[in-house]
Amino acid sequence: MPSLPSPEELFAGILFGSIGLVVFRQGRRQENVRRWCIGLALILYPYLVSGSVLTWGVGLLLCLSLFFL
């Protein structure tokens, strides 16, 4: 049976998923494929990674990629 995620992972998933939803909607509205893809990645990645450090690290890198790519 899989273990439950830690509170840090849950908070990170909710935070980055919410940011991803906003970015996804902006990308779709502005027809900006890069923002759309990053938003979708922010929504989906918490389901694919485990561990709080990895969850926070990937989320921060994806958020930073919005500004530097």
List, as one string, the DSSP characters of the chain.
Answer: -PPPPPHHHHHHHHHHHHHHHHHHHHHHHHT-HHHHHHHHHHHHGGGT--SHHHHHHHHHHHHHHHHH-
Judge whether residue 2 has pLDDT over 90: no
Judge whether residue 7 has pLDDT over 80: yes
- Residue 1 is predicted with a pLDDT of 64
Judge whether residue 10 has pLDDT over 70: yes
Number of compact structural domains in the chain: 1
- Per-residue model confidence as pLDDT tens digits over 19-56: 999 999 999 999 999 999 999 999 999 999 989 999 99
Which structural domain range is residue 39 located in?
Answer: 7-68
- Residue 43 is predicted with a pLDDT of 97
In a domain, 2, yes or no: no
Judge whether residue 62 has pLDDT over 90: yes
In a domain, 61, yes or no: yes
